[in-house]
Structure 1
């Protein structure tokens, strides 16, 4: 649901902490599960997304904060206390959210499923009516993957990252007690087991099936109790600027070690006795982890895998709007006028066709592409392989350091390279986050080049639920500067002062992006002080970089009206007297993930519109190659401004309507 987030604080702070802001975003995701107008299976998906997001937070952000706490405490006592206080605040917020999660799930979701004749057995014995099927499933499927380890001072056991376990207390015939760790093989077999009896569907967690049959794992022993737990570990990958071996080889070694990082969170069944908890912490070396009570079930991101298939319990389908060709070839259409695709409202087939046509076009000589996150079965990659085999010179800049997509990108790098594609990897200390492609034609063709510039990844899988915008253009100035970008990327080095690339159309991080945005904001400030029309509308995933935030504060103080749509992290505080009273911040959480970056500057009524890959975060501005680009076609500018107006208008309503209205607008336009 769309919502205006108010971050006004009673104390004179200038920025909201980025991690607390992110937790506010994840709470908005959680809140979707409580909305009456959200279909039941979509509510469950939002619970799954919340859980998955939180896992990543503890894998990525908490390790950074723990390191900062340790480093700063060595330098200044006050800094160390500051990070300790922040970690305590985070744990408080997360615990409250987990309580909300539990109440939503047990008090609402389970009863709504029951109303649909679906019984998800939760925290109670397996119903007698399906006990035979559950027992058979245990012995024929689950038991093959069960491993157990006695827990004592001699135990050499390492709990894997985010894997599920039971701590099992048993007693032998002589009255001797001992503890064992038993795995819950939720990655080897499905997390849920389903049985239909008559008109009713029963769904079991495999956790409960295993717990019910532990006497088969420990024959001759008395089972005193079984308590679930999981350990979340640091998933960050660090690389030295100077390295001798290839980045891909180095990455593969690092990825193999990712799941063996330090423990950041120890989540346990709240029924686990305190003496058992102390034993686990001591023997598994978990003293530095955040110890948190949970329910009997963890990894509830698996809820997205519930074996329920009912269209009536999902969002109604919105068939993607196709691009209407004026001729036979898309490339010919782009030569005549700019084309923009708004995914997932518009069909991604247009983007696929861009690469497919280029792979066989007789006058296309060279193709250049940046890749950040590729689809697992990428059709774009296959088109590039075909292009190389058809004699085209194909160069692909692959970012191997795209978090959690490293292995997939390495896989495609090898396949592309084997097909004759020139593969270039970025240097370890610089990420290539730009979403761009370029087709260069031979001299006989009527245009020199065609460009693709996007706000999101060239990934047909995520394009089904990420809202993004893709510009296809023959604009000579833009394509000429795309050539400059690819020329720099092919150098495989960090930008240096002596690098001379003159960008007049594109905004490229490390070169002119931040300064250009400051200039655009300064112009709005000047217009406001002169009594001319002014205003700024920006849509981002995250807003953190303080120089640009301060510039927005300055514009607000000068009277510039600023409207922001920020999906995730927002360190800017809106509506603060004397600081940001002319700034509003809205957050949209809906059926699609808001992902596009859009920048609109009033310019005294002659509005300028930019799109791009760059959020306003430190990493994007200072440690990545990003590309933002202008819209020059008046019709496309009007279209993009209208889409933003719809989201701003609908963000204050009680119903989720902005994405629906955008879909209706684009469908009617087509």
Structure 2
């Protein structure tokens, strides 16, 4: 079978962000949630430009030269498509936002600007600026400076044009950074009891421009919002005299100097100011210069719903997993049977309790754990510090190169080391993305292990909104493999990969994960060709690895039903005429972020089932340490199949993924029941929990066995 051309990953990603925009435009979504989806779309796009567009621009510059990243075909053409799509989405975004503003007004919620304040509000804004904001505002007269000052890529700026009413030609240009990181982006204004009036911080500053620039003899002020997005990638150089920590710190400083990759501005901006900024930012017409409305940096709008009188009522409270409900210790249950937590439906407290118990258990000797993105006030870290204080040996592999978490993870490293935790900081040229924990305790003079493998970060904040799975287990074969991984991470500088090859029960990238799943797909192809039942069901965040995609094409062409649930990037051309009847892909964007990775192969009716931290992308399979674990317990395997079947039957929030990138919804017919999968999964798990709590729980010895 000849190779089939895939959808470029970056174009597919923009299609995903379009699905986020669809949620913001959906009138059935609560208004507060629609605002959040606009904020998510904006934040996603900012990161996309900082990382992917920046990478594509460097590919163009480095064409024909050696580079340390995977080259896309025709990066120039992809950049042109990106610009076209982004401008179209920007127009849709503006239209959606205006509709939301109108709906807020209908509910007596008003966003005020500097020109629409009442006399009482003017006094309030003037006093607020004097007492709270003035000391944080540093105006710069940019025409008088030898070069444009450093502009931060997460900041919002006001470009100010000052002139005199009687002499318009006498003007000056100034720049003010909006200090929203200090004061927040929104201020609630005094108003009638039945109304809510809110002003943005930039409008507070706009109103006060005559006072800010009172030293000058100008009486006319124009002010326009703009922001700059910069290349956020930094290279880890090969200087052997520097430690990884030093290189990360250097990289963070160099990130400040990143080239501008996007310039967003108020389309009404004064032409002289606009040309001045474009010239001094060294931008050209080939760069992403994007005109917009008055408001920018919508990622801050996650704060706005907190000020609104109407709230979202969609969240269902998480509930305790039935296996640990009412039990004194999570540890006692895990030592007897495997537990599969399904977040955010099950409570994350179970994971925290497992570590808290280990910290206090006098029989526990060691705790080893990987950390990628931690919560800002991490209860996980608190439990580990308490463990050290109680005499345990604690090792944490903290990935310093987790993008945009580098600074936070450096700070966590220092804190952990101060408390006596042994910290590991990764592998040369590879990120540690696996989510692992192994706890060892001595019972009757025998050392036994227990812990967990997860699909998502050890982060109690995101655990409330990310859909993930945690396998809590004391399966000694699995724990033995996790221990080997930690021995590898703690090995000498060059790392001895032969240690990983000794792992028999975990599937590990980069050593054998891609090859293992190719073998699994080949088995399904052989079954289909022999006229036997076959099938592949995948749940992923992203699918862009060409080797595995081509193998999935081969499977579908051979008659294997390939069904996929892909949240974000899906580069597979699922509607290719030779096999489209056997390949089906959907994406679900709803209240919770679908983050889990699950791979199910029919395997002659045995349903080989895996959960993993890894997407099927080149970066996960070749440039990260990732782990997949085969689920052994028949009950847990069925639960995972049931959950994926519910998602595949979604006809409310599921969109079809195909080469048209139209994101068409799958709608129920008149005779069909509406299935909104996230709600159905909640009810499915809750019903299981309720049933389990009214019958005796039997120990599950099957979780102790390992399939060959």
Q: CA deviation at 1:430?
A: 0.9
Which residue of the other structure, out of 189, 199, 203, is the alignment partner of 1:208?
A: 203
Q: CA deviation at 1:125?
A: 3.4
| 1:562-581 equivalences in 2 (<5 Å) | 562-581=562-581
| 1:75-114 equivalences in 2 (<5 Å) | 82-106=74-98, 108-114=99-105
Which residue of the other structure, out of 193, 202, 205, is the alignment partner of 1:198?
A: 193
Which residue of the other structure, out of 35, 45, 60, is the alignment partner of 1:54?
A: 45
Which residue of the other structure, out of 278, 285, 288, is the alignment partner of 1:281?
A: 278
Give the direction of change, closer, same or farther, for the CA distance of 1:457–1:447 in structure 2 (3 Å limit): same
Of structures 1 and 2, the one with the larger relative CO (CA 8 A, separation 6+) is 1
Separation in 2, partners of 1:194, 1:500: 56
Give the direction of change, closer, same or farther, for the CA distance of 1:569–1:256 in structure 2 (3 Å limit): same
Give the direction of change, closer, same or farther, for the CA distance of 1:382–1:45 in structure 2 (3 Å limit): same
Q: CA deviation at 1:603?
A: 1.0
Q: Does 1:181 align with 2:172?
A: no
Give the direction of change, closer, same or farther, for the CA distance of 1:509–1:580 in structure 2 (3 Å limit): farther
Match of residue 255 from structure 2 = 258
Separation in 2, partners of 1:401, 1:328: 38
- Greater shift in the superposed pair: 65-74 or 492-501: 492-501
RMSD over aligned CA atoms reads 2.3
Give the direction of change, closer, same or farther, for the CA distance of 1:148–1:467 in structure 2 (3 Å limit): same
The alignment partner of 1:369 has SS state of strand
Match of residue 3 from structure 1 = none
* TM-score, length-scaled by structure 1: 0.93
Contact 2:524 2:560 in 1 (8 A): yes
Count, aligned residues: 655
Contact 2:32 2:305 in 1 (8 A): no
Match of residue 58 from structure 2 = 67
Match of residue 484 from structure 1 = 484
Separation in 2, partners of 1:351, 1:109: 39
Separation in 2, partners of 1:193, 1:306: 10
Match of residue 592 from structure 2 = 592
Q: CA deviation at 1:599?
A: 0.5
Moved over 6 A (4+): none
Give the direction of change, closer, same or farther, for the CA distance of 1:426–1:211 in structure 2 (3 Å limit): same
Which residue of the other structure, out of 282, 292, 295, is the alignment partner of 2:293?
A: 295
Contact 1:117 1:201 in 2 (8 A): yes
Match of residue 231 from structure 2 = 234
Q: CA deviation at 1:663?
A: 0.5
Over residues 542-596 of structure 1, what are the superposed CA-to-partner deviations in whole Å (9 max), with x where a residue is unaligned? 1111111111011011100011011111111112112544111100001010000
Contact 1:239 1:428 in 2 (8 A): no
The alignment partner of 2:482 has SS state of helix
Match of residue 547 from structure 2 = 547
Over residues 302-326 of structure 1, what are the superposed CA-to-partner deviations in whole Å (9 max), with x where a residue is unaligned? 1111164568530333121102337
Contact 2:602 2:608 in 1 (8 A): yes
The alignment partner of 2:604 has SS state of coil
Separation in 1, partners of 2:497, 2:456: 29
Any gaps of 5 or more consecutive residues in structure 2?
655-665, 669-673, 690-708
* TM-score, length-scaled by structure 2: 0.88
Q: Does 1:657 align with 2:676?
A: yes
Match of residue 522 from structure 1 = 522
Separation in 2, partners of 1:155, 1:295: 30
Give the direction of change, closer, same or farther, for the CA distance of 1:609–1:333 in structure 2 (3 Å limit): same
Which residue of the other structure, out of 153, 159, 165, is the alignment partner of 1:167?
A: 159
- Greater shift in the superposed pair: 268-277 or 90-99: 268-277
Over residues 508-533 of structure 1, what are the superposed CA-to-partner deviations in whole Å (9 max), with x where a residue is unaligned? 10222111111111111111111111
Q: CA deviation at 1:418?
A: 1.5
Match of residue 350 from structure 1 = 350
- Greater shift in the superposed pair: 243-252 or 419-428: 243-252
Give the direction of change, closer, same or farther, for the CA distance of 1:440–1:311 in structure 2 (3 Å limit): farther
Give the direction of change, closer, same or farther, for the CA distance of 1:155–1:163 in structure 2 (3 Å limit): farther
Give the direction of change, closer, same or farther, for the CA distance of 1:146–1:312 in structure 2 (3 Å limit): closer
Q: CA deviation at 1:80?
A: 11
Q: CA deviation at 1:328?
A: 2.9
Over residues 382-411 of structure 1, what are the superposed CA-to-partner deviations in whole Å (9 max), with x where a residue is unaligned? 111111121111111110111111122112
Separation in 2, partners of 1:476, 1:138: 62
Q: CA deviation at 1:154?
A: 4.2
Separation in 1, partners of 2:144, 2:74: 36
Match of residue 106 from structure 2 = 115
Q: CA deviation at 1:244?
A: 2.3
Any gaps of 5 or more consecutive residues in structure 1?
1-11
- Greater shift in the superposed pair: 134-143 or 633-642: 134-143
Contact 2:24 2:37 in 1 (8 A): yes
The alignment partner of 1:440 has SS state of strand
| 1:318-333 equivalences in 2 (<5 Å) | 318-324=316-322, 325=324, 327-333=327-333
